[in-house]
Each structure stands twice: as C-alpha cells, then as structure tokens.
Structure 1
Amino acid sequence: MRDDPLPVMIFAAGFGTRMGALTADQPKPMIPVAGKPLIDHALDLVRDAALTRVVVNLHYKPEHLRAHLSDTDILFSEEQPEILETGGGLRHALPLLGNGPVYTMNSDAVWSGPNPLTHLAQNWNPDQMDGLLLCIPPDNAIGHTGKGDFEIAETGHASRGPGAIYSGLQILKTDGLAAIPETYFSLNRLWDDMLANNRLFATTYPGKWCDVGRPEGIELAEDMLDYTHV
C-alpha cells in the first residue's frame, strides 16, 4: 500500500431505473436510507478512511448532487451528452484523479462492519496486483440474488464464476484504460485484461453489505443498520 491515500471515484451517474418512481425527480444517490442520502453513506466511509481526493461522476439530474455537495471539496466529472458506463466514466475522470491506482466505489450500497476502504487498503499489494476487488460472501450479502461473481483462490487470485459477490468497491491501476478503443464501456473490459495477465485479485469483506439497487433494498438496509424511523 502507498503511504499517501489513494483517490476515490464514486459512480453516481446512472439513471437508477430499477428504483422506479423514486428516481423520477432525483438521481439514485440522493435516495434517503436510514435518514440520509445514499451518497452520504459512501462519503462517511471515505472520510473515516481519511481519503481526501474524491471525484463523483454525474449524468442523470446532476444538479441535485451538485447542490447537495456544494459545500465540500469533491470534484465532479460530468458525462454529457451521453453516459460513458463505468470504464468510460473512469477514464473520463482521470485528469481529476491523477496518475496511479484509484478506488472505485458504487453509491448504491450500505455497509455494516469495519470500513471497507481500509480493509481493501490493508490487502492491496501493487507489486502483485493490477486490481483488487472487495467481495461479499453470499451469507453476508443482504438484498442480493444470484450465484455470485468471482471465485477466490487461496493465493487471492480472482476468477469469474459463482462464488463471492462483487461489492462495487475495488482498487484499480488505470494504465490499461488507454488501450481500450471504445468510448462507452464497462470496467469488465479492464478486468478481462487483468485476468488474462493473472493480475486480478479479490478479498472478502468480514462485515455485512446491502445492495440498494431496488426499492426493497431500502428497508433491508435500514433493518441491517437497525434504523428506527422517527
């Protein structure tokens, strides 16, 4: 791990279509969960980990996030006229993030347990790794259905297959983005290159994690946090 903190890219540009009416007038990261917007749950973790360079990408109804975060030092990477997906969005934000590895973080999850950013940093080894994914054992993944995304070898190497669930949080080296010709693309493209070079690793999170990608995830997350409405 580097002595200086890595920059953080928080993905907040999506349309949030699975949230239905909840995103008709606001972007998904502004949906309240346990008394505060989803984006604030992510930012609480960032601040707790003492990370200072934060970039949030914007596309759908960006004025809401700009207004909500106007009194912070957060940098914005707006994607217009079209959304660039995770890979294209990360590459678009590199002038703000700088050179070297970065965290990327989804804004539609809530965590219960140790700080997941710190947990990743403690397991990051740039000499061995081009990417380190934080994954969730199925029993600790609240509100998620499916067979999982990655198998993790004893060495920590990741491979695609049913097993642990990708949490939406990772550390990545970004050098490989320059070689991808498409403008709009998923970070799966970068993962494929890392897998081919045996440089993609994963580690599991010891706490609980809730996917808040659908309306029912709100109540599940609040139950996980033991939140009582007042």
Structure 2
Amino acid sequence: MILGAGLGSRMGDLTADTPKPLLEVAGKPLLGHLTDRLVQAGVAEIFVNLHYRAERMRAYLQAHPVSVPVHARTEPELTGPAGALRLFATELREYDAVLVASADVIVGEPLGGLVATHLARPAPLTFACTRVREARRYGVLDIGTDDEVRGAQEKPDVPDDDYRWISAGVYCLDPRVISRIPGDRVYDYAKDLAPALIADGRRVGVHRLGGYWRDVGTPEALDAARADAAAGRIPWLGAVTAGTEAQR
C-alpha cells in the first residue's frame, strides 16, 4: 500500500496545485518511482489512499499503468498512516503480509528486504528503520539487541546532535492487525500502533536499512533528492541510468 493522501503543507507553493507524490525527481514523479519499485519487490497488487488533489493522483495512475493491478480510493477525512489501512481492510486481509510505503520517502535498498525480514522473524508489525540526527522530526524507536522494538515515540524532544533510530516511513505488517485500528481518529505507527502492540506483549520488529534514505518533505529536501539523483547517489536510479546508457 502506498500512503499518498497527505496535504504536503511543508512544501509551500510547490503543492498549491500538485500533490506531493507527483513532484518529480529525475524527471519522474515520486509516485511513479514507488509503483515501479513495489512491482520490482514482487507485490501482487498495489493499493493507494488519496485525499489532496485526488483527481490528479488518480489520473496519473490511470495514465501510467504497471504490471500489477492498482487500486486507488479516496479518504474523505485523513486518518493517519496506520488509519489509512482501514480503507482496504477487506482486500488486504487476503494476504499474508502487507508492505506499506510512504510516497514521499526514497529508500536506496530494494523494498523486498523488509518483507524478507518480516517473514523470517514474524511479528504483527515490522518497521524499516534508519539512523539519523535531528530525529525529533520523526518516530523514534527504542530497539533492543534482538532487533525488537521496546518503545516508540512520535517526534520526541531529543537532542538534534544525537543519532537515533527512526521509522523510515516503510512498514510490513500482518493484515490481521488492521482490525485493531480504530476508525474514529487519526492513527499512527510509532505513536499508536507499536505502543499498543508492545503493551499487549506482541513482538514489534525492525529491518535496519543500509545506505541511502531521504524524507522528501520540504522544498530543501526535494532539491537535495534531485541533486542526489543527478550525482548518481540513489542506487536504483544509478542502475537505471547505467543500463540506459549501455543500451545506447
């Protein structure tokens, strides 16, 4: 599932008419890169929640089909990154695992690695995580030596110079978890779902990402991602470019 419903308010004028997932890096919208990468990870279907400029998002998906079915549905009211799963609860419960990816996050390594970790060490929820400074902007994870989350906090007041493990905006989960997500409020992974599972004595796992990761949430971050793409620092873009040049 692609989380594509956000307002993109931190982007300022860039998202006045264009939803954030349709902003381009290397000449292609973030949404297009992500659908391609999910197909490469071996997903059977793709589900996308829509809200802001939903018609633009739907038009793009229809005009740029991929090799698996893509289903888009509009959220009348935003319910958060975990709450959005309820939109497709009936369809998702048919699967053993659900890979969830934020449309505004760029991950360097193949997304199938998270799925492999989740299946190898079954848990109701597995976070992809990365280690960063200025972690107060994210969901910060307290991880034990067994790669089990002992606690999670959303945007805590931690020193900017400290390196912390954070939720990378990509998750894998058992679809049976969706039934415990309330339908009457905004619901998040680090703030709500992970603490609830831990309180119940359930295991919450992590997959530690290596290499490139960027949250494309501000104009400055978008410019940096475009610079990274041009410099060949995004692994899968580099591979695509190299392959194209070799064919020429």
Give the TM bin, normalised by the shorter chain.
Answer: 0.7 to 0.9
Alignment counterpart, residue 52 of structure 1, candidates 30, 40, 44: 44
Q: Which has the higher helix share?
A: 2
TM-score by length of 2: 0.78
Alignment counterpart, residue 135 of structure 2, candidates 134, 146, 170: 146
Partner of 1:13: helix, strand, or coil? coil
Gaps of 5+ in 1: 1-8, 139-143
CA distances 1:101-157 after superposition (whole Å, capped 9, x unpaired): 311110001233x31x2111221137641111000122xxxxx73256113222110
TM-score by length of 1: 0.83
How many Å separate the matches in 2 of 1:86 and 1:30?
18
Q: How far is 1:203 from its partner?
A: 1.9
Q: Hey, what does 1:97 align to over in structure 2?
A: 92
Q: Hey, what does 2:187 align to over in structure 1?
A: 186
Q: Is the 8 A contact 2:118 2:205 kept in 1?
A: no
How many Å separate the matches in 1 of 2:92 and 2:119?
20
How many Å separate the matches in 2 of 1:84 and 1:11?
11
Paired residue type of 1:27: P
Q: Hey, what does 1:221 align to over in structure 2?
A: 225
> % of aligned pairs identical?
29
Partner of 1:225: helix, strand, or coil? helix
Alignment counterpart, residue 155 of structure 1, candidates 146, 155, 165: 146
Q: How far is 1:45 from its partner?
A: 1.2
Paired residue type of 1:226: A
Q: Hey, what does 2:246 align to over in structure 1?
A: none
How many Å separate the matches in 2 of 1:179 and 1:130?
11
Gaps of 5+ in 2: 159-163, 233-248
Q: How far is 1:198 from its partner?
A: 3.8
Give runs of ≥4 in structure 1 deviating > 4 Å: none
Q: Hey, what does 1:85 align to over in structure 2?
A: 80
Paired residue type of 1:111: V
CA distances 1:174-202 after superposition (whole Å, capped 9, x unpaired): 32332344423223322122222241011
Paired residue type of 1:225: A
How many Å separate the matches in 2 of 1:97 and 1:109?
22
Pick closer, same or farther for the CA change 1:137–1:156 going to 2, 3 Å.
same
Alignment counterpart, residue 208 of structure 1, candidates 207, 212, 217: 212
Paired residue type of 1:217: A
Q: Is the 8 A contact 2:25 2:229 kept in 1?
A: no
How many Å separate the matches in 2 of 1:97 and 1:13?
18
Q: Hey, what does 1:6 align to over in structure 2?
A: none
Pick closer, same or farther for the CA change 1:212–1:181 going to 2, 3 Å.
closer
Partner of 1:15: helix, strand, or coil? coil
Q: Hey, what does 1:130 align to over in structure 2?
A: 124
Q: Is the 8 A contact 1:34 1:227 kept in 2?
A: no
Task: Please report the RMSD computed on the Cα atoms of aligned residues, expressed in angstroms.
Answer: 2.1
How many Å separate the matches in 1 of 2:177 and 2:39?
28
